[in-house]
Amino acid sequence: MSNLLRFSFAVILAALLVPESALSQGAPGFDIHLVSVDEKNGVLEFGKPNKITDREGYDNQPSFTPDGRGILYTSNREGQTDIYRYYIRTGATRQVTQTDPESEYSAAVIPSGDAFSAVRVESDSTQRLWQFNMDGSGARVVLTETKPVGYYAWGDDDTIGLFVLANAETPLSTMRIADTRSGRATIIAYGVGRSIHKVPSRNAISFTHRIPELWIKEVDLEHHTVTPLIQLLDGNEFYAWLPDGSAITAQGSKLFRWDREQGTEWQEVADFADRGIESISRLAVSPEGDRLAMVVARQ
């Protein structure tokens, strides 16, 4: 690849892969909707969306707690971004982190279940992965040298898949597999997207790859081999895994499912247009697969 082409490609990717910390500042509002999910004879049935956040501003990045009773999410309020927790049974919301000037994004309970992790934008704008007690106390860095971290997914107690933003050392965003014991992070792919997930019942982490089209790929955590899975639909780079190993994504007001075992293409499974929903982006599925959290742009 020539230097000119390499530079142009890096510029395009930099424009596409804006850090979430920048997107939450002055961006259009987002709300999180909670939907019940039932499967009958292999067919998914979705309930009426319940809006669990309803305000102007940035409420995004939902992640279920392991017991399925709560949702951690990112909320930007008056310029300060922290982690909040929504309690499904009572409908109550509680602020978990209260840090200033630091901001937190992309909260997820760690595999042991006794703490959660989040990307922290530190006071000097450094973005690293941190860990917190479930009440938001006890903040500590998980990976000291790996930065700037944008997104991540835990593979197991000691392994993390990381989206690392482009920087002076690497002009393209990278997918890395890190070992928390050694602190080492191995580059797996360049030019990756913002959706990274643990693959159910497999020793693998999936990620989106933008070269040339946007694909879901998975990396085996033992051998670091990468396997292409399926191309995503136009207009959305986000997806989630259902417990049975099938994937779900969105396009506009519609949800689509891909069944890995059957080798099918994306199949439409729901349309929420009649509920006034027009633009679904991020998705999160509860551990039991009985609830779906959808991020929807405010109209």
Q: Give me the CATH number covering residue 129.
A: 2.120.10.30
Rg (CA), the chain: 18
CB 259 within 8 A of CB 246: yes
Phi-psi bin for 163: left (phi > 0), alpha (psi -120 to 50), beta?
beta
Distance CA 284, CA 42 (A): 20
What's the mean pLDDT in 177-200? 97
Q: How many residues does the chain have?
A: 299
Residue 7 pLDDT: 36
The structural domain count of the chain equals: 1
CB 162 within 8 A of CB 175: yes
- Of 11 and 78, which is predicted with more confidence? 78
Those residues whose C-beta lies under 8 Å from the C-beta of residue 112, and which sit 6 or more positions away, are: 157
- Assign 6 a pLDDT band (cuts: 50, 70, 90): very low
What phi, psi does 85 have (nearest 5°)? -125, 130
What phi, psi does 119 have (nearest 5°)? -80, 120
Picking from 96, 31, 38, 29, the residue whose alpha carbon sits closest to that of residue 286 is 38
Q: What is the pLDDT of residues 96-121, one digit of tens each?
A: 999 999 999 999 999 999 999 999 99
Those residues whose C-beta lies under 8 Å from the C-beta of residue 122, and which sit 6 or more positions away, are: 102, 128
Distance CA 43, CA 149 (A): 37
> What SS3 state is found at 77?
strand
Q: What is the pLDDT of residues 9-57, one digit of tens each?
A: 433 343 334 456 555 555 569 999 999 999 998 899 999 999 999 999 9
Distance CA 14, CA 17 (A): 5
Identity of the residue numbered 121: V
- pLDDT > 70: what percent of the chain? 91
What's the mean pLDDT in 123-134? 97
Distance CA 197, CA 119 (A): 15
CB 90 within 8 A of CB 125: no
User: Mean pLDDT over all residues of the chain?
Assistant: 91
Pairing of strands 280-285, 204-209: unpaired
> Where is 297: in which H helix or E strand?
strand 291-297
Q: Which residue has the tokens 């989630």?
A: 240
Q: Which residue has the tokens 């879901």?
A: 216
Picking from 94, 193, 93, the residue whose alpha carbon sits closest to that of residue 153 is 193
- Assigned token pair, 261: 């075992």
Residue 145 pLDDT: 96
Distance CA 139, CA 58 (A): 23
Domain residues for the domain of 120 are 3-271+280-297
The pTM assigned to this predicted structure is 0.91
Picking from 279, 172, 267, 281, the residue whose alpha carbon sits closest to that of residue 237 is 281
